[in-house]
Structure 1
Amino acid sequence: MKRIDVVYAFITNERDDVLIVKNVGRNTWSLPGGAVENGETLDEAVIRETYEEAGVTIQPEDILSINEAFMSFSQHHALFITFRGRVVSGEVSIQYPEEISEVKWAPRQEAEELLPHYPYGLQKMSNASAVYYNEGLKSV
């Protein structure tokens, strides 16, 4: 199995709505995010993916959750890392309509119903926190 890392951004607004996107291929809702590219750090990937999927630039903050799964169809061992994100610029919009059909701020309860990937709930996840620090290039 090939290992892949996938990052997501959990972003809320002043009303505590959650930013979610609807993926074209699977016709499902998710937090903005996607696969980390070769040579890319986790924080770089979550910034890029959030902009590509939702049109906003974020400041990634703490890690809220880490999940993993073995995908039998694709033969991937996926590690899913969810960051708390804060919007720093841009307007919510679809950048790649071939990948994202809808992007919206959903009330927390609606987001809970549309995002079944978090069986422990968005509220519990949003209260969790682990410090993330990109140490950059080290000559060790």
Structure 2
Amino acid sequence: MNRVDVVYAFIYNETKGKVLMVHNKSSTWSLPGGAVESGETLKQAVIRETEEETGLKVEVENILAVNEAFFLKQENHAVIVTFKANVVGGQEKIQDEKEISAIKWVDIQMANKLMPYHLGGVEKFLAKSVPYIYQGKI
């Protein structure tokens, strides 16, 4: 098994009560995000991945969830960190048409259906978080 660190951006439009999601060509919906590249911090990765998939620039806040999964088919052991993020610029547009087939704002109920692995639902993301602290190069 290869270890893979993955990051996701939970972007919530409070006015509309909607969560930004992307449809991966692998036939699954997810939050914008992906694998952390070598030498990249978790925050740098979520900013890059979100822009690559949606065209949006984000600022990243605290950690909302940490998940872990073994993807047997790909032989990957993934640790998945979901961050709260806010749109600060850019234009919503699919950037990587090889990987992403749609970008959609969905309500909380639909987000919960599309991401059942967040036990208790994604609405808990609106109330709790854990600080992310980058300690630098030591």
TM range (shorter): over 0.9
Identical-residue share of aligned pairs (%) = 49
User: Displacement, 1:119?
Assistant: 3.2
Q: 2:22 — aligned with what? A: 21
The size of the alignment, in residue pairs, is 137
Runs of 4+ with >4 A deviation = none
Q: State the TM-score, normalizing by the size of structure 1.
A: 0.91
User: SS at the partner of 1:124?
Assistant: helix
SS state at 1:129 partner: coil
The unaligned stretches of length 5 or more in structure 2 are none
Q: CA deviation at 1:64?
A: 0.2
* Alpha-carbon distance between aligned partners in 2 of 1:72 and 1:111, rounded to the nearest angstrom: 25
Structure 1 match to 2:3: 3
Q: Distance in 1 between matches of 2:76 and 2:22?
A: 23
In structure 2, the partner of 1:79 is: 79
Q: Secondary structure at the residue paired with 1:12?
A: strand
Work out whether residues 65 and 128 of structure 1, in 8 Å CA contact, stay in contact via their aligned partners in 2: no
Q: Give the superposition deviation at 1:89.
A: 0.5
**TM-score of the superposed pair, with normalisation by structure 2:** 0.93
- Counterpart secondary structure, 2:48: helix
- 1:65 paired to 2:65: yes
Q: What is the identity, as a one-letter code, of the residue corresponding to 1:23?
A: N
Give the unaligned 5+ runs of structure 1.
Answer: none
The DSSP-based 3-state class of the residue aligned with 1:81 is strand
Give RMSD over aligned pairs.
1.2
